[in-house]
Amino acid sequence: MALLLKPVPWVMLFLWNCIWRYIITTGGGGAAAVAEGLGQEKGGYEADRVLRLPGQPANPKLSQFSGYINVNEENGRALFYWFFEAQSQPSQKPLLLWLNGGPGCSSVAYGAAVELGPLLVKKLGTGLQYNKFAWNKEANLLFVESPVGVGFSYTNTSSDLTKLDDQFVAEDTYSFLVNWLKRFPMYRTHDFFIAGESYAGHYVPQLAELVYDRNKEPRKYPFIHLKGFMVGNPSTERFYDSKGMVEFAWGHDIISDDLLLLFSGVCNYGFPNNSDPRCTAGASLFFQSYAGLDIYDVYAPKCLLPKSSSPSPLWVGMPNFNMMRIPQGYDPCYSPYAEDYFNRQDVQIALHANTSGNVPGKWKTCDDSILRTYNFSVPSTLPIYTKLIKAGLRIWVYSGDTDGRLPFIGTRYCIESLGLAINAPWRFWYHKQQVAGRFVEYEGLTMVTVRGAGHLVPLNKPSQSLQLINSFMQGVALPTQN
């Protein structure tokens, strides 16, 4: 009898190892179903835990996860995420989703590894460094590479890549969020915020609107505790964004009086204008004027490394600009650093990335093939602002004041066009006894400028940006005394 009982623990251990190996090798894709069947829901997210990345500093210890979330089983679409629990009291901190734009630029490359994540890429081949101003000091921080085709995110149906537009992206990102919360059920009741920059000026408010609308149908959709959103140097409204870009360039002695008059008169800030060759020629001259400068940070140096094989980063694709090649962005060399690191096989294995070989070619910071096929069908997100302000969501918009691509001038035009009542007028805000920028509080919206920052505010002003996200999520005004 005893001889018959002895093998039982061994058999159970063997079966459990088989199940766990299946979970690991599927990159977490089958984890939730297996875990639910075993009554061990924890297994779903533990399979995605990242123990340590190559070149990661030993301290401080971070709780991080990464992997794939299916958003469309039929077409085989999956979005890649990287998640960091809050450094303290994660069970009490809100959940913050960060999105980058492009379209076609990676939130892993920029938001996570260059700007506001706790692990930043260092110079070529030297690994990672700890970011003491990481936003996961204030929130549980979630990055997703969106849409499919960006970074490690993929689709097994190539025709999906010809259908990309704002609605497609919002639907997939919403599906991602719902399914991610199934894998991480402990965050289902947390306050939820969305933030992003650049063309995420479209992605963020449209996702917020979708969450808000579906929260009103609790029998059909899971309730998500959306509290608000914040966007930085955002693409918002086609005309005002264009007008701001031209006036900023003229005001900083980058373009001539003649070009300003051409764009403001003949082109009506809609260039290149196919009906008038003067506008097309003027657009070429406009971007040539930035040849020796960084349009994303006009006072920053340019990267002098050999040109990356990837496209210039941080496209902000709109019909007026989407085929214009814009000078490369700012460390000034953060894009080559990110591409060098995330194309390493040991890094991809540690991140559970490209587990099935679904990502063709090299991982890129930005993919201009997405830009070429993206359908820019939404000229303005301002109606969404009006709707969600009335709904009582917390909405902040911030701008680095040295960005020439989506400058604060255009964003001011956008916000002022909403006709909101002013609760508190423009005034300085302070950080460490110095003026950090200006802000104005409207009825239902706060607009902030960040002094001396370009398109990537958390990269240029990390300490100030941490104060900014803290004030936003706490719902308190920025300090007005030094």
- The DSSP line for 172-193 is HHHHHHHHHHHHSGGGTTS-EE
Active site residue 198: yes
Structure tokens at 311: 């496209």
Check 190, 202, 352, 455 and give the catalytic one.
Answer: 455
For residue 237 the two structure tokens come to 């409204």
Catalytic one of 352, 399, 403, 431: 403
β-pairing, 445-450 vs 422-431, is unpaired
Give residue 275's identity as a one-letter amino acid code.
S
CA–CA gap between residue 439 and residue 33 (Å, rounded) = 48
The dihedral sign for the CA sequence 143, 147, 151, 157: positive
Catalytic residue, from 66, 106, 153, 198: name it.
198
Distance (Å, rounded) from C-alpha 211 to C-alpha 466? 26
CA–CA distance, 263 with 24 (Å, rounded to integer): 56
What type of residue sits at position 324?
M
| Count of residues in the chain | 482
403 is catalytic: yes
- 41 Cβ contact partners less than 8 Å away, ≥ 6 residues apart: 32, 35, 185
Q: d(Cα 183, Cα 264) in Å, to the nearest integer?
A: 51
- CA distances for 408 relative to 235, 247, 421, 458, angstroms: 11, 11, 20, 16
Tell me the CA distances in angstroms from 146 to 8, 166, 207, 291, 442, one per residue in order.
Answer: 47, 11, 12, 30, 31
DSSP secondary-structure letter at 390? H
CA 34 to each of CA 21, 45, 279: distance values in angstroms, whole numbers, following the listed order: 11, 12, 59
Q: Hey, how many other C-beta atoms are within 10 angstroms of the C-beta on 353?
A: 22
Q: d(Cα 401, Cα 1) in Å, to the nearest integer?
A: 80
Q: Which residues are catalytic?
A: 198, 403, 455
